[in-house]
Structure 1
Amino acid sequence: MTTTLERPVTTRMSGRSKAVLVVLLVAQFMLAVDFSILNVALPVIGEGLGFTLGGLQWIATGFALAAAGFTLLAGRVADLFGRRRLFLGGMAVLAIASLAGGLAQTPEILLIARVVQGLATAVVTPAGLSLLTTSFPEGPLRDKALGLNGALMSAGFTAGAVLGGLLTDLLSWRWAFFINVPVAVAVLVVAPMLIAESRVPQRKLDVPGAVTVTGGLLAVVYGLTRAGEHGFTEPLALAAFAVGAVLLVAFWLVERRAGAPLVPVGILKRRTVIWGNLAGLIAFATETSLVFLMTLYLQQVLGYSAFATGLAFGVLGAGTVVGGVIGARVIARIGTRAALVGGLAVQAVATASLVLLGADRGWLTLLLAATALGGVGNMVAIVGFMVTATSGLPDGEQGLATGLATMTQQVGITMGIPVMSAVVAAGVAGGGSVLDGVGTAVLVNAGLVLAAAVLVGVGLRRK
């Protein structure tokens, strides 16, 4: 029997492996675009379908709740019932929901379509990532695949904002939904010919664990979205956090006693899983919230339009693509831990430099340079996070590991903006300008990244 240590280290992909990688990357890129493509179009959608101001935010909130709340469960279900099966099923559901959203004539239908899109994302993302990690052996090939995946996902978030604005201006907001349909159909046609099925045989689904962790995550994400709108002291937000905490503690207790746990307690004790996911949580929370802060700066301080703001973030997108492409090479040269910590450190320094921004448009040069450099560091850290969080685990737990990593990503995206929004609001309420509030939030953002770099560096060094 050949052990992992005895396998030759392969650094070249076969033609079939490249085709598998392209299919999975296209799917993940589409999902990343879907996260942000409707944000620019929300006011137009509200006018077209008659949304109330309070109801409009549920287009984003409903998607986030479903995508973050069900990811961990979906990753484990994919392990047990077939990763390719769940991947293809999720893509089919996404195509149907996108078509329904584009054709919607009432707010209720559009909201249902958006929630179903979130559920499909919760299924496809961990299933696709686990297919990726099981299709490539641990080492240079997997690192390269994860780096490209991270680069395209990050580019997708930026591209979604720009593409949403273009489609809304040139065609209609409905094309922000319709654009998913041909891509999903193409993946559904090609994927079965290239991707083999993989699963963990003869395992039962831990229903109590599934109920408690899904309920806990839904409550926490809902609390974060409420806090982003009404502040962290709002009673309903606090109640949601309390319910989420109770359910997640209950989940931990259930998993300790379950015969076939949804998340084996042992995996949560692995240093790579703990510190890798902490790094990922901070990396996603801080970079996505930095986009929010710079949007406030560009529009409310410098007076740029929404479309011009989206174009400015194209530089950040280019930086993240560069970071994803070089991430595997950085890891090969200096190691995963050093790449993860170094990427966070570069992001922290680049973010901290944005404190210097002033009210003159001449500062745009600093913003573009800092966000580009920070994007490179952030993506190197994200590649390091994905490699760290999925390494040293058997194929049977890859769906779980990628489910945890995806959950970390989506919770980080959800929590970053409410936290930074609260910091800005506190600064403005205290008598400062929007620029003052943004400056304070930038310092907090950079401080969180630097603290994560230190903690992760120490945590991964411990034996």
Structure 2
Amino acid sequence: MTTDQAPASETAGETTTTGDARMTRRQRTALVVLLTASFTLAVDFSILNVALPTIGADVGFGIANLQWIATAFALCSAGFTLLMGRVADIAGRRRMFLIGMVLLGAGSLAGGLATTPAVLLVARVAQGFATAIVVPAALALLIGTFAEGRARDKALGLNGSLMAAGFTTGAILGGLLTDLLSWRWAFFINVPIAIAVLVVAPIVLKEGRSENRPRLDVPGAVFVTLGLLALVFGLTNAAESSWTDPLTLGALAASVCLLAVFVAVERAVSHPLIPLGMLTRSNVAWGNIAGFLAFATETSLVFLLTIYLQKVLDYTPLAAGLSFAVLGLGTVIGGLLGPKVVGRFGNKAAIVGGFLVQAAATLPLVLISESGNSIWLILVATFVGGVANLVVIVGFMITATTDVPESEHGLATGLTTMSQQVGITMGTPVMSAVLTAVVLASTGVPEATAVLDGVTTAVWVNGGLCIVAAVAVAAFLRRRAAF
């Protein structure tokens, strides 16, 4: 352990001593169950992206409405995650985890069998809501299974690695399933996984809930959920239309108002959904900011490079997806390396150093051209950037969940889940807006050249955000939370 972390404390499950990275057989099995569930839900973020045109043709979606297949999932997964994290604290984390897995299995089965747009959208809503339930509950169960120390850091590293790798894996897996079998298997593949988890989880997971069970802050839950829903909808609509679209502006304005009301409610109620004092803790606030920026920059970079590969180098969607396999490998290595970096240098140094290395790997991508040889630069840069990004994510997960009372584990993990999901949702429209602005301003040049200029401009912004994040965390994250 470093000075960034507090001593070990008793947790809800079997624990290891501080500084001991060994796990019991029960802990290893529990870890496999929890990581399997989290990885599966991470894959669901992107598994249908490549298959959207095929799905539209089979089910009857118009081109203008295809984005709702992704939007329905994102709205529910990001909008309800904070509320569900708190519900897990009160109702029981294992109970909510199991309920979420049942919903995932049912929603996936319905999606695979869907023959109308309405049924498919309901299935995606169910998958998104399952994500909002399962991910914070799984994280809370994970940190409750291990005492603070190297074992927990290793578990969080694996979790962060698989969550990030899931986004890339989804694009590859979606392409393979669509080409070799059918897009319906992108749904069906979740069903046996959900069943297996439901069989094993009750045996190896212990129930965990807050000893004090305050009344749920219903007004706060309503306003924060509506505010997050409006935010995600506004960001998604911006990516599909523009930042000046009245619907985009209206949704973002509504989000600001609703979240402002939420803050006022939290100040007034006796048992707030989010104790505002928790957000003043340096580790919670800056840990989540770092996590938000880590997911926003890397996932949006994948979007930019996907556009480049398909629009400039004329790659097929499947070939473009397979090009990110090295990024997936980098994220796995980064997730394994992250706990060791944290253990050697501390949370803060891991986050700052990771962002700087990610920037150093991202910025050379401004040198890509219309030559096919640019793929080699992309492979090297995304691999190194993937390793660095996961070091940041591991540091963020450890930082944002350290020194949090057991009664608030679900809330803390709900915040981290919300940070990563909103980061994934927000990064792409921001980079898309930069790219689109450059393309629209480029007149009298071939489309491929205009797209290349837009991508490289957005890459400058992406790398710059990594540097800004490193500087901000270095300046404002205290080495030890004071509360």
Q: Give, in angstroms, the shift of residue 119 of structure 1.
A: 0.5
| Number of the residue aligned with 2:463 | 446
Q: AA paired with 1:373?
A: V
2:385 to 374, 392, 405: 374
Indicate the RMSD between aligned Cα atoms, in angstroms: 1.3
SS in 1 for 2:216: coil
Aligned to 1:434: 451
Displacement, 1:128?
Answer: 0.4
Looking at structure 2, the residues matched to 197 and 359 of structure 1 have their Cα atoms a distance apart, in angstroms, of 55
The answer on 1:354 being equivalent to 2:365 is yes
Residues of 2 paired with 1:347 and 1:81: CA distance? Answer: 40
Q: Match for residue 313 of structure 1?
A: 324
CA contact (8 A) 2:18 2:149 kept: no
Name the counterpart of 1:261: 272
Structure 2 portions without partners, runs of 5+:
1-6, 11-16, 443-448
Alpha-carbon spacing, 1:329–1:8, altered in 2? closer, same or farther (3 Å): closer
Counting only pairs closer than 5 Å after superposition, residues 57-96 of structure 1 correspond to structure 2 as: 57-96=67-106
The alignment partner of 2:48 has SS state of: coil
Q: Percent identity?
A: 62
Shift in Å, 1:306: 1.1
Q: Report what 2:259 is aligned to.
A: 248
Query: How many angstroms does 1:175 deviate by?
Result: 0.6
| Partner of residue 446, structure 2 | none
Q: Which amino acid in 2 is paired with 1:340?
A: I
Q: Deviations over 1:118-164 (max 9, x none)?
A: 00110001000110011111121111000001111112111111111
- d(CA) in 1 for partners of 2:228, 2:174: 28
Deviation track 1:66-114 (CA, whole Å, cap 9, x = no partner) reads 0000000000000000000000000001100100111111111001111
| Partner deviation per Cα, 1:145-190 (whole Å, 9 max, x = no partner) | 0000111111211111111111111111111100000000000000
- Structure 2 CA distance, aligned partners of 1:5 and 1:119? 32
Greater fraction helix: 1
Match of 1:227, SS state, is: helix
Deviation of the 1:61 alpha carbon: 0.3
The separation in 1 between residues aligned to 2:40 and 2:374, in whole angstroms, is 33
Q: 2:208 & 2:402 partners in 1: Cα distance?
A: 18
Superposition pairs for residues 271-350 of structure 1, below 5 Å? 271-350=282-361
TM-score normalised over the length of structure 1: 0.98
Cross-structure match for 1:151: 161
Q: Which residue, out of 197, 208, 217, partners 1:198?
A: 208
Instruction: Report the AA paired with residue 376 of structure 2.
Output: T
Question: 1:461 Cα shift?
Answer: 3.7
* SS, match of residue 477 in structure 2: helix
Alignment equivalent of 1:415, drawn from 408, 426, 430: 426
Counterpart Cα distance in 2 of 1:15 and 1:79: 26
Cα gap change, 1:45 to 1:8, in 2 (>3 Å) = closer
- Assess if the C-alpha contact under 8 Å between 2:8 and 2:147 holds in 1: no
Unpaired runs of at least 5, structure 1: none
Equivalent residue, structure 1, for 2:175: 165
Equivalent runs, 1:110-149 vs 2, <5 Å: 110-149=120-159
Aligned residue type for 1:454: V
Task: State the secondary structure of the residue aligned to 2:45.
Answer: helix
Aligned counterparts of 1:56 and 1:429: Cα–Cα separation in 2: 23
Matches within 5 A, 1:15-30: 15-30=25-40
The whole-number CA distance in structure 2 between the counterparts of 1:5 and 1:307 is 47
For the 8 Å contact 2:93–2:138, the answer to whether it is kept is yes
Instruction: Quote how far apart the aligned CAs of 1:360 are.
Output: 0.4
Is the 8 Å Cα contact of residues 283 and 478 (structure 2) preserved in structure 1? Answer: no
User: Secondary structure of 2:373's match?
Assistant: helix
Report the counterpart of residue 183 of structure 1 in structure 2.
Answer: 193
- How far did residue 300 of structure 1 move? 0.9
Deviation at 1:9, TM superposition (A): 3.3
Tell me if structure 1 keeps the 8 A contact 2:358–2:386: yes
* One-letter amino acid matched to 2:261: A
Q: Distance in 2 between matches of 1:82 and 1:5?
A: 20
What is the TM-score normalised by the length of structure 2? 0.94
Quote the offset at 1:383 in angstroms: 0.4
